[in-house]
Structure 1
């Protein structure tokens, strides 16, 4: 027999989120599990894509991102982050925020280092840490508000972590961290000399009165922050896999090398095609927020009308449902039954928590109104799942 495979990956499972998409397809369920929209990207981007299909480019771009893509991205992010981003020295384009986070982790952490991860967390963060040879330290966000305990956070920092992962707005709970909370993290990051790796993919989907603060813009945080994000959610192009890291030159210089050996580069035609989106004015982002505010209000009101218990997300487009009344020990089994018997796809909350949480499931509302209304109509039958 051959030698055993990697011990580092022995504990991995397949992505539960993507698994629930397959379950949804199997039973013809409305897929509210994997967070992608069923509506088109902006027309200007689609029209440019059609031109690029005929004209190119179709070959490799510069490894760390095509020049005009990085310049357009730098202009856009400079406007929102409130500092001038150098497109040549402070950006690397990646294959989605998934690669951006992996690249950032491998840039910052050595094997044997420790990395703080808030729980609940998007499932990749723990895997990224382990694949980098580092050890995750999980710090709970306490429901229902999903706030952290300062003493618990400092106990994690006392272990001298090399980095902290910060998803803001947070997937899956929709938490938007306050400026005061971020300043608390910043003070500890400075005191314990820790990098902060941010995932800010939902930066433009923050519901009033909450406000998004870019961690890198806090006093003294630029030099220790690797800001990761993606264009997927902002422009409804999750399949295009266009992400990026923004950081100081000395960090990006290392990240470029890591990225080069991970994926060489992201798709040249798509970098070209998305540039009109990066040049949109504020009206686009105002309309985007209005669209998602409407979807949130529609879906959460529907859940309220059905007397289904849920949280109230402050950002992103996910909602957590409390399923304790249905009597299941396994949230995964509940989600399988929900897809098969009710016709709605969801993700078991246990896939996001380090703690033994089995009473929450995640749905998303990045769908057309007709899709959301159909899901709500089907959820009228949810009581049949009670044991």
Structure 2
């Protein structure tokens, strides 16, 4: 019956918070995941609710007295004049108030700014009306707002900015300067602000909540949403409100009435009592939560969590996993529930990025899978019980003493912290994995997959904690660093990925071919950050390579000397053929194609590598001076799209590639670059058909591949849009940060398809980085057999693809093959 669902409904899945809550309820764990108090609500408001029920206030009802109390409070606390008759809408909780505010103000195609990380409901509401969420990332560890990032995210289509302060999940209270920056954008661009202020009374350390509406010129463009839930510990009563300019408040009331008619009548009556509580109640609430905040922060620090930012408000701690922990947040939380009996929320559920191999985000922000959210809105008894259980994280390894100051946990604790030995060594037995995630299949190795209520598969991970290796790829567009853990036999699993946009080829002209001073400086900064990370993770062996931009630069030696002096890196400049060979080896670590003749295409910023291989041996390799960055600079920016195609065809004809491919032949074509992955993703989400959002279910995905005809459609659409498709693609929400270069990449790939008669292409999540790792292992592990390792990884890859009961038997067979493979 799923085909009967709307496309929107098919995309709505349980949130990580819901899934963790269900899992914790089934296993009777202590729930520090969900943000609801487990202690009683104030007795006087409970008695008011009982009295209302006994007085038969049980029908549809709109209690005007609530609006009058809210208006009075806004004047006393915020200095805002609010008309209780026209400016307030009572709703079923803050969630409905926020949704109604979005429905009332956002049209299809309107852009809405969100601060990342964010409560996921915001994005869902925006997508439901066809709006386009645009994320402005807050900078860890203190989650500060960068004014430049904010300004760069604003366009002529920006309709509103969503602000949650105090902030879920980080506990941040936005500063006056940050609020002024947001207000300035709203005033200058004439856009709205929708605020979620449910934690307004829960602030710590002399921090004060400032409502954005109280700033100059903001009341007339701000929609305030809040509720009784958090302040009075009544999350199930569902009494919330929106305070807004009269015309917007009226629209919100109409939407509320059409959907639910009225909020629960007895609880509206009880709200009258709640809203007249004395100031002493709010201060005692604040002090109680501040004590709970200090308790849980000290407890988490004492067992090795990194808390560089002590929450300023709300009732959540966003704690970073120890540096030595090789688990992702999801893996850690799953084991925390199963082995310890405490539930928390994986932080990645609050970040909007989609994740690729190793569970890391496609934009390279590896920190997005390193945070766990703990809720401390619990009784002291509950928090004590959770602390006692979580002490096992230390006791499992015999660690008995720690420094419990914030951010000051002992290095020994961080190094030894373990879930019954799982954090130090090989990966644990993991729970159900969603097969929608492309690269997670290829990177996680052994997993346990549980079809609900059925058997379990135990895939022991052969990788031990013996070595951490790293590969740094200095590409023309981005610099990337891959960190893996490898065993003595050379089997490896990725544990970290970093990516820094450098655009080394920008400004490199054909007449002199020099890397510009600005590009050199960007490169140095990125490499210095990589160097710090290599030191922090105590990498056993690292290899740094440069590709086409450095290879072709006339000032290559000068640049490499500067890298050596300022960063301390010795860089290996790869030839085009060597780069192609390593890309092929990387592909073999991801796809089960060891015995097939594979044509691999890797489109980089400065060159395209094409290689044909079989059983780990390269039959032919070449590097073409066709990259999406240099083609964009030379042709797309000037609107010379016809010249772009002619240039690509000329290079392909003169390269001798066509004759070689005809001579050797191939069975399967594979694309391994970010460009190829972006194109496949856009095809799947309907970009070629003119759709403008990503509300598509992953369940229909066809194994991460696309056809020539689908590619033609995308390339044609990109070339027909304004500015070579760059601006329109970004507005439509496709290609993300790659939108600047995607037109050149799509045209180049389509010409390769046509020239080499490729009918269909598969997509690999691994490429050059994994090939470099294979090369390191070949030289450092005496027993390493690259062919055997590729075969093993192919079996493991297959065994992670099964997530339904009817496929479990096949998964068991694959697991057995992985175990017995030599």
Please state which band the TM-score falls in when normalised by the shorter chain.
over 0.9
Work out which of the residue numbers 309, 315, 327 in structure 2 matches 1:317: 315
Distance (whole Å) between structure 1 residues aligned to residue 127 and residue 44 of structure 2: 40
Structure 2 length as normaliser, TM-score? 0.46
Q: CA deviation at 1:92?
A: 0.3
Q: What is residue 108 of structure 2 aligned with on the other side?
A: 111
Distance (whole Å) between structure 2 residues aligned to residue 155 and residue 129 of structure 1: 20
Q: What is residue 192 of structure 2 aligned with on the other side?
A: 195
Q: List gaps (5 residues or longer) in structure 1.
A: none
Pair 1:84-2:95 in alignment: no
Q: Give SS of 1:245's match.
A: strand
Pair 1:300-2:311 in alignment: no
Residue pair 2:119, 2:168 contacting (<8 A) in 1 also: yes
Judge which range, 332-341 or 211-220, deviates more: 332-341
Work out which of the residue numbers 325, 328, 331 in structure 2 matches 1:327: 325
Q: What is residue 137 of structure 1 aligned with on the other side?
A: 134
Work out which of the residue numbers 362, 384, 387 in structure 2 matches 1:376: 387
Q: What is residue 350 of structure 2 aligned with on the other side?
A: 352
Work out which of the residue numbers 278, 284, 288 in structure 2 matches 1:287: 284
Pair 1:179-2:176 in alignment: yes
What CA deviation, in whole Å up to 9, does each residue of 1:160-181 have, x standing for no partner? 3111110011100011001111
Q: Give SS of 2:250's match.
A: helix
Q: What is residue 19 of structure 2 aligned with on the other side?
A: 19
Q: What is residue 598 of structure 2 aligned with on the other side?
A: none
Residue pair 1:76, 1:279 contacting (<8 A) in 2 also: no
Work out which of the residue numbers 340, 343, 347 in structure 2 matches 1:342: 340
Q: CA deviation at 1:256?
A: 1.4
Residue pair 1:216, 1:225 contacting (<8 A) in 2 also: yes
Distance (whole Å) between structure 1 residues aligned to residue 73 and residue 187 of structure 2: 28
Residue pair 1:160, 1:192 contacting (<8 A) in 2 also: no
Pair 1:100-2:92 in alignment: no
Residue pair 1:226, 1:247 contacting (<8 A) in 2 also: yes
Q: Give SS of 2:137's match.
A: strand
Q: What is residue 41 of structure 1 aligned with on the other side?
A: 41
Distance (whole Å) between structure 2 residues aligned to residue 326 and residue 34 of structure 1: 27
Q: What is residue 6 of structure 1 aligned with on the other side?
A: 6
Residue pair 1:58, 1:269 contacting (<8 A) in 2 also: yes
Q: What is residue 258 of structure 2 aligned with on the other side?
A: 261
1:238-257 alignment, distance < 5 Å: 238-257=235-254
Residue pair 1:328, 1:334 contacting (<8 A) in 2 also: no
Distance (whole Å) between structure 2 residues aligned to residue 14 and residue 78 of structure 1: 39
Residue pair 2:107, 2:130 contacting (<8 A) in 1 also: yes
Distance (whole Å) between structure 2 residues aligned to residue 254 and residue 43 of structure 1: 35
Q: List gaps (5 residues or longer) in structure 2.
A: 354-360, 362-367, 394-417, 426-822
Distance (whole Å) between structure 1 residues aligned to residue 3 and residue 284 of structure 2: 56
Q: 1:4 to 1:48 in 2, by over 3 A?
A: closer
Q: Give SS of 2:17's match.
A: helix
Q: CA deviation at 1:277?
A: 1.3
Distance (whole Å) between structure 2 residues aligned to residue 3 and residue 223 of structure 1: 44
Structure 1 length as normaliser, TM-score? 0.95
Q: Give SS of 2:138's match.
A: strand
Work out which of the residue numbers 352, 355, 363 in structure 1 matches 2:374: 363
Distance (whole Å) between structure 1 residues aligned to residue 58 and residue 10 of structure 2: 38
Work out which of the residue numbers 193, 209, 219 in structure 2 matches 1:222: 219
Bigger radius of gyration: 2
Q: Give SS of 2:232's match.
A: coil
What CA deviation, in whole Å up to 9, does each residue of 1:293-338 have, x standing for no partner? 1111111122223232223111101001212446345322221111
Q: CA deviation at 1:52?
A: 1.4
Judge which range, 161-170 or 73-82, deviates more: 73-82
Residue pair 2:304, 2:322 contacting (<8 A) in 1 also: no
Q: 1:250 to 1:372 in 2, by over 3 A?
A: same
Work out which of the residue numbers 66, 70, 81 in structure 2 matches 1:69: 66
Distance (whole Å) between structure 2 residues aligned to residue 211 and residue 129 of structure 1: 29
Residue pair 2:2, 2:10 contacting (<8 A) in 1 also: no
Q: What is residue 29 of structure 1 aligned with on the other side?
A: 29
Q: CA deviation at 1:159?
A: 4.7
Judge which range, 85-94 or 306-315, deviates more: 306-315
